[in-house]
Amino acid sequence: MPLNAFGASFEAAEHSWTRELCEADSDEDGLTNGEELGDPCCLWVKGSQPSEYTKRFSPSHPGVADLPATVAAYSRPACGETGPVVTGQRFGEFNSNEEQRTVEVRIKSFQVPPQRTTYVNFMINIPDSAWEGADMFYVVKADGIIDKKEVLHHYVINGCSKKVPEELDGIETPASTSSAYDCTTPFGGWAPGSHILNMPPWIGMPFGPSAGVVALDLQIHYDNPRKASDIVDASGMRFWFTPTPRTYPLTRLNSMMVSANTQIVVPPKKERWFLTRTCTVDIEDEAGEPVQFHLYGVKYHAHLLGVQMYTEYFPVDGGVPLDLGSEHVWHFDDQGTRDMLALNITMKSGEVIQSSCVMNSMHLEEATVFGRETIDEMCWAQYLGWSSVPGHTAIVKCDGPMWEGELLSNEPGFGLARRRPVEKAIAAWDGSNVMTGGSALRLPSDDCVDSTPFFCARQVPNSLANSGADSCDKELANGMSFMEACCATTCAQMACHTTPACLEVKEKENQARAAAIASDTVVLQSDPYYSIRTMGCSSDARMLREVSVRLPDELLTDSAKAQGSENGDGEFKKTSETKSDGAGIIGHICLILPFLVGLTV
């Protein structure tokens, strides 16, 4: 569905309620967007608790012009009546005492190849002038400079402690080049709808000579579905940074970054296939001393099949699990960080998070593997925060298995570990490698597997990209053929998937998967409801609700079905309300989401 004028403006503002967007009149009816949405003085900040005026206000559509009579009848209130009762936390802004600096870097003009998927590595130096007067800096905010939006899929960025020679600066280089310049500091990434970095006022990303970041290793994924040959890209990055020390460096927890394992397969014609992981966290500082991890944001990533994302948090002291930024409607074009400050979460070693990606392949005739191609899939869940000890980074490790399965159309995305446990999964992995899922614990069939999934996913597609079917049995350096060492990845390649050997393997796998799905993969529940604590859009932004979600009868024991019928068949049953300790998270997105799509004007 096309965006209306307001939706397009919101997208251009990187999905943020900026003053410029608020003061604009997208539908040109004589009322500003802020006046139409209950923020006439543009005082709203994501995470605020609204004023009585805003709570009572009935918004009009900022993307569809109001009638002249409606515009004429509007009376703008005094700003003192409209400001939030509690103002949310601003992100990506300098503190009043901080020296402010910015720097931009770009790749040199790059001819995008006329093929669907291309991964390219660029080495980019930060100008020496950026470090004038200091050696240690802290990034407050970083954004992608997107030149050719139509083909930019995502960035992955690592920091380098050594500058590259001038002749390599900004140009395409082999991926192996980065090792010579110590590009080992994970720095960030960009995808549609997201910032590279966007910090609360007390957190900074270390930057500069003393931080071991004087150059950047930038990997760009280009998606060129038209296979156009006339696209020249000069994208880059912009950084806002300061030499004024910030109290806490950024800490990340990566529960899943599954990007390269063709043994993980989304079958065709599935409405809600899932990949999930149970992550038991272990948290230490750089010296191995125990610390805690304060959470401020959640990010997800998938490709074209991703439709829902879920995270449940199970505190070490038990109780009802907490919803951490789950996305009941997720889309590739909106991959921004979900603000979790309001929940006031402090993770401790031994606590558990359950991360899940849900995918819809109903429109496909063929299976989709996990890999680097645009039409392959990925599943990422990343959690952002800071250490409980000032000046130290929390090193958060994640231990636990990963498995796949299929949800009913009306089944909640929460409680998977209880209803669809790893022990009954069609396929499962030990989670020892966050990029591949690790070693297989169980597969539908062992007739076609990769001996080393990460190696196979990186080497085989490049080797077979421009080859014919006669290359599918090509011999590797160890004397094994592609089919022998990397059967799953080889058979996923366009050149090989219709060869007799791969067709035979596919038929065996389809039979094995069908048999596995037909077996009992669900633990029937004796309670017709699953309880979860969650926050949402409400008249009181700090209200934390515990809701009980009604489970479908197919997942219940006979006694539970009878109990559920007695209580009614509503999908949700609100059981309690409590105040959150933090500021509310009723972001402006709650107010304006219904107006982003619809009529094109």
Summarised one tens digit per residue, pLDDT across range 263-305 is 898 989 999 999 999 999 999 999 999 999 999 999 999 999 9
The chain-wide mean pLDDT, for the chain, equals 86
- pLDDT for the residue 256: 96
Residue type, 200: P
| 81/160 Cα distance (integer angstroms) | 50
Supply the pLDDT for residue 540.
45
What does the pLDDT read at residue 517?
63
Q: Kindly state whether residue 587 falls inside one of the protein's structural domains.
A: no
Q: Provide the pLDDT for residue 366.
A: 86
CB within 8 Å of 318: residues ≥ 6 apart: none
Phi/psi at 559 (5° precision): -65, -35
* Mean pLDDT confidence for 487-511: 80
Alpha-carbon distance 575 to 532, whole Å? 10
Question: What is the per-residue pLDDT for 49?
Answer: 82
Residue where one domain finishes, among candidates 395, 411, 443: 443
CB-based contacts of 465, cutoff 8 Å, min separation 6: none
Contact 212/135 with Cβ under 8 angstroms?
Answer: no
42 and 187, same domain (yes or no): no
Q: Is the pLDDT of residue 244 over 90?
A: yes
What are the backbone angles phi and psi of residue 163, rounded to the nearest 5°? -75, 150
Residue 110: count other Cβ atoms within 10 Å of its Cβ: 21
Of all residues in the chain, the percent with pLDDT exceeding 90 is: 60
Q: Yes or no: say if 93 and 45 are a contact pair by the CB < 8 Å rule.
A: no
- pTM reported for the whole predicted model: 0.82
In-domain check, residue 438: yes
Judged against a pLDDT cut of 80, whether residue 492 lies above it is answered with no
pLDDT of residue 469: 66
For residues 334 and 378, membership in a common domain is answered with yes
The torsion of the CA quartet 25, 1, 309, 434, rounded to 10 degrees, works out to -100
Q: Summarize the confidence of residues 375-384 as an average pLDDT.
A: 95
pLDDT category, 328, cuts 50, 70, 90?
Answer: very high
Number of domains comprising the chain: 5
Using CB atoms within 10 Å of the CB of residue 478, give its burial: 0 to 12 exposed, 13 to 18 middle, 19+ buried. Answer: exposed
CA 367 vs. chain centroid, Å, equals: 23
Predicted confidence band of residue 198 (pLDDT cuts 50, 70, 90)? very high
Residues 84 and 137 in one domain: no
Average pLDDT in the 69-83 region? 93
User: Has residue 94 been placed in a domain?
Assistant: no
Give the torsion sign (CA, 259, 264, 265, 270): negative
In a domain, 82, yes or no: yes
Answer yes or no: is pLDDT of 478 > 80: no
Tokens representing residue 570 in the block: 């509503």
- In tens, the pLDDT along 175-188 reads 888 999 999 999 99
Residue 538 is predicted with a pLDDT of 43
**Residue 351's CATH number:** 2.60.120.230
Q: Which residues pair with 310 in a beta bridge?
A: 356
pLDDT of residue 327: 92
Same domain, 27 and 74: yes
Domain that holds residue 453: 446-523
Same domain, 369 and 263: yes
Domain CATH for 188: 2.60.120.310
pLDDT over threshold 60, residue 541:
no
Same domain, 533 and 519: no
Could you say which of 212, 246, 280 is where a domain stops?
246
If asked whether residues 347 and 214 sit together in one domain, one would say no
Last residue of a domain, one of 428, 443, 458: 443
Residue type for 503, please? L
Residue 29: DSSP 8-state: S
DSSP string, 535-552: E-S-SSTTEEEEEEEEPP
Q: Decide: helix, strand or coil at residue 128.
A: helix
Question: How many residues comprise the chain?
Answer: 601
pLDDT tens digits, residue range 93-149?
A: 999 999 999 999 999 999 999 999 999 999 999 999 999 999 999 999 999 999 999
H and E: helices and strands count for the chain: 13, 31
Give the pLDDT band of residue 520 (cuts 50, 70, 90): low
**Mean of pLDDT values over 39-58:** 89
Tokens linked to 358: 């849900």
DSSP-derived secondary structure letter, 170: T
Going by C-beta distance under 8 Å and a sequence separation of 6 or more, which residues neighbour residue 73?
Answer: none
Residue 95 lies in a domain: no
Q: Smallest Cα–Cα separation from 278: which of 147, 431, 433?
A: 431
Domain membership flag for residue 96 = no
Tokens of 68: 């002249």
pLDDT digits (tens, 9 = 90+) for 438-475: 988 988 877 788 877 777 877 777 677 656 667 787 77
Is the domain of 114 the same as that of 240? yes
From CA 197, how far away is CA 143, in angstroms rounded? 7
Query: String of b and e for 442-471 (b: at least 16 CB within 10 Å)?
Result: bbbbeebbbeebbbbbbbbbebbeeeebee
Q: Which residues contact 77 (CB under 8 A, 6 or more apart)?
A: 40, 53
Instruction: Decide if 300 is inside a domain.
Output: yes
Do 106 and 123 share a domain, yes or no? yes
In this structure, the answer to whether residues 390 and 508 fall within a common structural domain is no
Domain for residue 152, yes or no? yes
Least trusted range by pLDDT, from 165-179, 230-244, 397-411, 571-585: 571-585
H helices of 317-429, where? Answer: 416-419
49 with 181, same domain: the answer is no
Q: How many CA atoms lie within 13 A of 184 on its CB side?
A: 6
Same domain membership, residue 72 and residue 45: yes
